[in-house]
Chain A
Amino acid sequence: MLVHATLDFPGWGDPNAPAHLHVAPEYLEQAYEKTATPNVVTAVLADYRSYDTMFETAVVFSAGLACFFLLRVQSRKKEEEEEEDRYFRHLATDMVIRIRTPSMHVPDSPYLQQLDPYWTPRSLIVRAACRVLTPFIQLFALYVVAHGHHSPGGGFQGGVILGASLILVALSHDLRTSMKMTPEKLMGVLSPAGVLIYAGVGALCVAAGHNFLDYGALAEWLGTAPEAARSLGILFVEVGVAVCVMATMIIIYANLSSAGGHKQGL
C-alpha cells in the first residue's frame, strides 16, 4: 500500500509540486521585505525555520557532550592509576631530559619545552606560518558570522572556521599549547552557553508577548522597525550557534586526538 501511495507523489523536480507552489515563492518574494535580510537562505534557516536550527545547535552540543563522556571521563580514571615519563627539551642546548618520578614538579620556564613521548614534530616554518595565518582565519570567521545576512555563511560555518583555526594551533604546536589558550572548562561552559543564547533570544520574544523565536518582538527594546529587529535577531542567534559550534569542535578534537587524556595530540 505504501509503494502504491508513492506513485501519487509529484515527479522528481516537478515545478508544479505543492511544495514549490506556495511556500518557496513566498519565502523568495517576501523574505527581504519582512526580515531585511538579503540572503534568503539565512532568513529561512534562522528566522522561518528557527526551531530546526535551534535543535541542530543542541545536536552539535550533545555530540560534544557524548565525546566528553565517552573519552574524557574514562581516561580520567585511568590517568589516576598510571603516570608516564615526561620529556623536556632545553631550548638553548637542545638537550632532552627525561623525568621518571611523577611527583617531581617542573616549573613553567621559557627555556624548557615539554615534549610528547612519541610525536615530536619540530618545524619552524610550519609553526611560524600557522602563527601568522591563525589571526586572519579567525578574522574571516568573525566576518562569516557577522556577514551571514548578506553573503553565504552564518553561525555554523563561522563557528567551524573559528574552531578550525584553534585546531590548527593544536596541530602545528601541540595540544598542551592550545589547551592553555582554550581551557577545557571554558569550552565546556561556552558550548551549552551557545545553545542558551539561542534559546534565550527565543525566550525574550516570549517575554515581549510574541511567539517563541519571533524576533519581531524585539523591535521595541532595540528601538528599530520590526523588519530590522528580525534581521538583528538572526544575528544574535547566529552568534549563539557560532559559540556553541566553536567550543564543541575544540572539545571533540581535544578528546579524539588525545584519546581523552588531553596530554598529547596528533
Chain B
Amino acid sequence: MIWQVDLAILALVVICAIAAVTVRDLLGAGILFGAYSFMLCLLWAAMGAVDVAFTEASVGAGVSTVFFIAAVFRTTRRTKD
C-alpha cells in the first residue's frame, strides 16, 4: 500500500460522492455515481479486499450505472428541486 495513491483515490471518492449528490443534471449524477463506484473499487483493491472490489466493479460501476441511466432516460433529465 502506497499512502499517496490511497490518499489520492480517497480524495477522488469524496469529490465524486459530493458531486454526485449536488449536480443538477440527473444523467451527470448517474455517471458520477459510476465513477464513485469505480474509485471505491480501486480503494477496496488497494486494501486487499479483492472480492469486494470485484463486486463493486461489476455491480456498482457496471450494472447499476446502466440502471441509473435507463431510469433517467425514462423520466426527466433535470431535477425538480
A167 near B: Cβ within 8 Å?
yes
Q: Mark A235-266, 1 if CB is under 8 A from B, else 0.
A: 00000000000000100110011110000011
Picked from A152, A161, A249, A259, the residue with its CB within 8 Å of the CB of B51 is: A152
Are B66 and A171 touching (Cβ within 8 A)?
A: yes
Are B54 and A252 touching (Cβ within 8 A)?
A: no
Contact size class for A? 20 to 34
A41 near B: Cβ within 8 Å?
yes
Which chain A residues lie closer than 8 Å to B53 at the CB level? Answer: 152
Q: A119: nearest residue on chain B (CB-CB)?
A: B73
Are A252 and B62 touching (Cβ within 8 A)?
A: no
Question: How far apart are the CA atoms of A249 and B67 in the complex, in Å?
Answer: 9
Q: Mark B41-73, 1 if CB is under 8 A from A, else 0.
A: 000000000110111001100110011011101
- If A167-B66, A266-B69, A266-B70 touch, whether A152 touches B58 (CB-CB below 8 Å) is no
Q: B62: nearest residue on chain A (CB-CB)?
A: A164
- If A41-B51, A152-B51, A157-B55 touch, whether A257 touches B62 (CB-CB below 8 Å) is no
B74 near A: Cβ within 8 Å?
yes
**For chain B residues 6-42, which have a beta carbon within 8 Å of chain A?**
none
Are A160 and B70 touching (Cβ within 8 A)?
A: no
Picked from B51, B59, B66, the residue with its CB within 8 Å of the CB of A253 is: B66
Are B54 and A157 touching (Cβ within 8 A)?
A: yes
B54, chain A: closest CB distance, angstroms: 5
Q: Mark A137-165, 1 if CB is under 8 A from B, else 0.
A: 00000001000000011101100110110
Q: Mark A24-57, 1 if CB is under 8 A from B, else 0.
A: 0000000000000001011000000000000000
- If A266-B69, A266-B70 touch, whether A163 touches B63 (CB-CB below 8 Å) is yes
Q: B55: nearest residue on chain A (CB-CB)?
A: A157
Are B50 and A152 touching (Cβ within 8 A)?
A: yes
Q: A159: nearest residue on chain B (CB-CB)?
A: B58
Which chain B residues lie closer than 8 Å to A265 at the CB level? Answer: 70
**For chain A residues 164-220, which have a beta carbon within 8 Å of chain B?**
164, 167, 171
Are B74 and A257 touching (Cβ within 8 A)?
A: yes
Which chain B residues lie closer than 8 Å to A154 at the CB level? Answer: 51
Q: Which residues of A contact B (CB under 8 A)?
A: 39, 41-42, 144, 152-154, 156-157, 160-161, 163-164, 167, 171, 249, 252-253, 256-259, 265-266
Using A156-B55, A160-B58 as known contacts, list a sample of 6 further A-B pairs with CB atoms less than 8 Å apart, ordered by residue number in A: A152-B51, A156-B59, A160-B59, A161-B62, A167-B63, A256-B67
Q: Can you list the 9 inter-chain pairs with the closest CB atoms, starting with the nearest? A: A257-B70, A152-B50, A256-B70, A160-B58, A41-B51, A152-B51, A259-B74, A152-B54, A157-B58
